[in-house]
Structure 1
Amino acid sequence: MVQITLTEVYLIAMILIFAVPFLIWRLLRTEYYAPLVVVQIICGILLGPGIMGAFFPDYYAFVFRPEVIGALNGVAWWAVMIFVWVAGIELDLSEAWQKRRETGVTAGLALIVPLIFGSVAASILLQTGSGWAGEKGQYWQVIVGIGMACAVTALPILILFMEKLEILRQPLGQRILRYASLDDVVIWGVLAVILLDWERMGRQGAFLIGFAVAAYLIRRLMPKIAESDRWYVGLIWLAVCGLAADWAGLHYMVGAFLSGVVLDAKYFDQKRMDYFRATVLLAIMPVFFLSTGLRTNWDVGGVIVFGAAALLLVASVAGKLAGIHLAGRLLKWEKGEASMIGWLLQTKALIMIIFANILLDKDIITNQTFTALLLMAVGSTMLTIPMVTPKLKALKMMVSRSS
């Protein structure tokens, strides 16, 4: 009998990761309500222990053996670090500062209101019994963590959606980017607070001081070297920041985001950056989606997990829409404007999944909570295009109007 090698098993897993979502996406023509990135996330769940592992346990154990999962996780870690690094680079807060009242009011309400709604939903879940809070998660960390997960806007996916809707380069698209960009910075700041470890305060303080000095030096260095060299230096900088943040107990993803934020987008050619982001999404991010699916868990019962996901979805969407509608009233927006912007900003997907992964890694939430949040993110993202498209057609004049 021919003995199959670990490499061959790994490549079988890679075939599943890339072939299954692509075939579903193409054959079922899901683009309108479920873009490829959403299908990849769903397939990660389907290929995980809760679905394929339950129906085909022998095959699941054969393909996704610990050695294969370890190799896939290594690719996934680097993929998501690069993705968050690029998101940090592309944040441009200069225009947000120029229009700080309008941006601050909208972004603030778009974050605070769904955070409150999500925190209430989290408290309801915790009242139902055990299974939602991780062993190392304090009550306030679980509440704020789940609440913030409900408030997150997935900036990279939002950009892809607005490109699809052909509004990204329009004044409306740029307004929405301002709101989402400011919230992105706050979200990662709140995450850093959640992850504060009093036993590691010395390390975390040293990291922040060292990062400030290193960021100053990297910003001095970047303009002085060739554009082609900036990519290599940038990736080295990414790995160093990720390592330092993880050593300090803040998680390597916090370091990855910070390493991108301090770099200006003007250091890199915009077209090349767009191609790079698209290549990362195409070539290595599907591995992250699969590894995310492998972490799903239904131990508390599938019905309860789906119920929790539904509760979180309602809190997330209702909170975001309520916050944006309140901002629209304060800023005297046109009728229908707040609804469309609210539906776009409630997009979750990647950033929420990354956020929830960090909470899971730190044992603040459990696998069951992570599964509910993942389902909420998928549902939220699938609602966006169907809800926004008819609203956009009814408000064509508004697209070209800047606030």
Structure 2
Amino acid sequence: MFSLSGAEISHFLMAMGCLLAMAHLLGYLAERIFIPRVIGEVAAGLVLGPTLLGHFFPDAFKWIFLGFAGEDKLFGLLYQFGLLLLMFCSGLKFQTKFNKEDAKITSALVIGATIPAFIVGWLAAGWFNITPYLGTANNTLAFKIVIAISIAVTSIPVISKIFNDLGIMHTRFAKIVIACAGIHDVLLWIALGFATAIASEGGVFTVGTAVKSFSISTAFILGTLFLGYVLFKRMTVIKQNLLFRSSNLGYFLFIMFMLASLAGNLHVEAIFGALLAGIVAKVALPKVVSERLEQGVSNISFSWFIPIYFATVGLQLDLVRHFNPLFFLGYLLFATLTQTIAVYITSRTIKQDPFTSLNLGLAINDRGGPGIVLSSVAYSTGIINQEFFAILVMLALVTSWIPGTWLRIVVSKGWRLMPGDEKIVPRKRNDDDTFKTINYPAK
């Protein structure tokens, strides 16, 4: 009970070590050539998975990753931990403080980047035959929602990493884009929860199903934000909180797991609980505590669980047998133009200049981690099949590449990102920063 044989443990550790090492190696090489790290980490799964190793040496692939009964479930467990921690870290990057003008711009962009893109994505589902891409749930309504989300979704983790790498995280532009992405994605995760709820109902859609799903999601969000804020604010740093005193990080991980478990039991999606846990911690805690929490979670998450998550996504892809390059190119062009144009028009409507509007359009078009999360959840719940799963993952990767390259050019040329960011000096983070401790201020 609760045990594996010595041979099974040794085999799993070898397989996990190879996958982790390849993810870090290719992630590092990707960053050296100015490509977002996530692309290299997913590429690790492509190299060691069915796309390359499994195609040319299928027996070697099966021996490494399917070497004993249950090995796939062990990778599945690490995959889920990585997914939860990715969403928790995303919540910890949520922006909360704005002046009146920035709040106005952010609100306009959230509306302009979400509603038009979502509607166009929904309508697009009727323009091509979706039957070949349906998953085991065989639910066209859920599939249409996933397509709409894939057009409108934005990545907090990847765009934040791009801003950090370029040394522009302190800019007004970065603050607005990250805030827009955060609010934007919360709304889209509600839609994803609705899609998975419909899929789990066996394809039956009624007004009662819609009302129930919306009510549960709304109640969970508002309840978590309100009660979480009050409890975090009042109970975290008091002397009676023995769990927090014994382990700061352990305390917050406990909260994240409990909220994720509650969300899963309510059919809201466990990842949503992890995201809200991060948002509440960011909003309710003193800045020095939230920064220390983010550093602690990031150290373990981005060194182990999250690279394994992205690499495992790559392991599930078979681009040789389950990928249509022509369809992907068309979908990429359609998704990129739809999102970028929607943001550009919104930005121009609120009287931003053309270059600022272009910068915002390309940055918000970054789908990155959330795009991959969308594809993972939709695939695991049977809404989409493996071929469309590959399309969505590749869409997330390529649309992460575009803004990274463009913003690097803008910064290197000394061009203004947006009004208020004139003469910005990039603040590059040293590689050793992650090993520095954050001390609490003296009382």
The amino acid across from 2:157 in the alignment is: P
Cα displacement string for residues 136-193 of structure 1 (whole angstroms, at most 9, x for unaligned residues): 2422221221221122111011111011122110122112222222212212122222
1:88 maps onto 2:106 in alignment: no
**Could you say what secondary structure the match of 1:196 adopts?**
helix
CA 173–131 in structure 1, closer or farther in 2 if over 3 Å, else same: same
Q: Is the 8 A contact 1:44 1:290 kept in 2?
A: yes
Cα displacement string for residues 277-315 of structure 1 (whole angstroms, at most 9, x for unaligned residues): 24311221111112212322458x45x522232222112
Cα displacement string for residues 318-354 of structure 1 (whole angstroms, at most 9, x for unaligned residues): 1121012102221221231111222222112211111
In structure 2, how many angstroms separate the alpha carbons of the residues matched to 1:47 and 1:236?
33
Deviation, structure 1 residue 111 = 2.3
Q: Is the 8 A contact 2:121 2:151 kept in 1?
A: yes
Q: Could you tell me which residue of structure 2 aligns to residue 309 of structure 1?
A: 328
Deviation, structure 1 residue 317 = 1.4
Q: Could you tell me which residue of structure 2 aligns to residue 281 of structure 1?
A: 302
The amino acid across from 2:341 in the alignment is: A
1:190 maps onto 2:191 in alignment: yes
Q: Could you tell me which residue of structure 2 aligns to residue 5 of structure 1?
A: 7
Cα displacement string for residues 169-226 of structure 1 (whole angstroms, at most 9, x for unaligned residues): 0122112222222212212122222233495887986786577556644433323333
In structure 2, how many angstroms separate the alpha carbons of the residues matched to 1:42 and 1:380?
15
In structure 1, how many angstroms separate the alpha carbons of the residues matched to 2:414 and 2:126?
38
Q: Could you tell me which residue of structure 1 aligns to residue 112 of structure 2?
A: 109
CA 221–346 in structure 1, closer or farther in 2 if over 3 Å, else same: same
Deviation, structure 1 residue 383 = 2.1
Question: C-alpha root-mean-square deviation of aligned residues, in Å?
Answer: 3.1
Q: Could you tell me which residue of structure 2 aligns to residue 263 of structure 1?
A: 281
Deviation, structure 1 residue 87 = 1.6
Moved more, 206-215 or 266-275: 206-215
Q: Could you tell me which residue of structure 1 aligns to residue 420 of structure 2?
A: 401
Deviation, structure 1 residue 90 = 3.0
The amino acid across from 2:21 in the alignment is: A
Q: Could you tell me which residue of structure 1 aligns to residue 367 of structure 2?
A: 348
* Unaligned stretches of 5+ residues in structure 1: none
Q: TM-score, normalised by structure 2?
A: 0.79
In structure 2, how many angstroms separate the alpha carbons of the residues matched to 1:172 and 1:208?
30
Moved more, 95-104 or 340-349: 95-104
In structure 1, how many angstroms separate the alpha carbons of the residues matched to 2:224 and 2:416?
46
Cα displacement string for residues 75-107 of structure 1 (whole angstroms, at most 9, x for unaligned residues): 221122122123223323453887443222222
Equivalences for residues 200-219 of structure 1 within 5 A: 216-219=226-229
CA 264–397 in structure 1, closer or farther in 2 if over 3 Å, else same: closer
1:38 maps onto 2:49 in alignment: no
In structure 2, how many angstroms separate the alpha carbons of the residues matched to 1:319 and 1:31?
30
The amino acid across from 2:232 in the alignment is: M
**Could you say what secondary structure the match of 1:95 adopts?**
coil
CA 118–52 in structure 1, closer or farther in 2 if over 3 Å, else same: farther
In structure 1, how many angstroms separate the alpha carbons of the residues matched to 2:270 and 2:73?
17
In structure 2, how many angstroms separate the alpha carbons of the residues matched to 1:96 and 1:307?
45
2:391 corresponds, among 359, 362, 372, to: 372
Q: Could you tell me which residue of structure 2 aligns to residue 241 of structure 1?
A: 259
CA 378–217 in structure 1, closer or farther in 2 if over 3 Å, else same: closer
Q: Could you tell me which residue of structure 1 aligns to residue 432 of structure 2?
A: none
**Could you say what secondary structure the match of 1:46 adopts?**
helix
Cα displacement string for residues 88-133 of structure 1 (whole angstroms, at most 9, x for unaligned residues): 23323453887443222222222234334444554444x1x63311
Q: Could you tell me which residue of structure 1 aligns to residue 268 of structure 2?
A: 250
Q: TM-score, normalised by structure 1?
A: 0.86
Q: Is the 8 A contact 1:133 1:364 kept in 2?
A: yes
In structure 1, how many angstroms separate the alpha carbons of the residues matched to 2:41 and 2:119?
30
Q: Could you tell me which residue of structure 1 aligns to residue 438 of structure 2?
A: none
CA 56–359 in structure 1, closer or farther in 2 if over 3 Å, else same: same
CA 393–133 in structure 1, closer or farther in 2 if over 3 Å, else same: same
In structure 2, how many angstroms separate the alpha carbons of the residues matched to 1:202 and 1:144?
17
**Could you say what secondary structure the match of 2:343 adopts?**
helix
In structure 2, how many angstroms separate the alpha carbons of the residues matched to 1:340 and 1:202?
39
Deviation, structure 1 residue 249 = 2.3
1:320 corresponds, among 326, 339, 342, to: 339
The amino acid across from 1:72 in the alignment is: F
Moved more, 190-199 or 44-53: 190-199
Aligned residues: 396
Deviation, structure 1 residue 36 = 2.8
Runs of 4+ in 1 over 6 A off after TM superposition: 200-204
In structure 1, how many angstroms separate the alpha carbons of the residues matched to 2:226 and 2:122?
37
In structure 1, how many angstroms separate the alpha carbons of the residues matched to 2:213 and 2:358?
44
Q: Could you tell me which residue of structure 2 aligns to residue 385 of structure 1?
A: 404
The amino acid across from 1:40 in the alignment is: E
Q: Is the 8 A contact 1:245 1:251 kept in 2?
A: yes
Moved more, 131-140 or 158-167: 131-140
Q: Is the 8 A contact 1:204 1:250 kept in 2?
A: no
**Could you say what secondary structure the match of 1:115 adopts?**
helix
Q: Is the 8 A contact 2:173 2:417 kept in 1?
A: yes
In structure 2, how many angstroms separate the alpha carbons of the residues matched to 1:203 and 1:140?
14
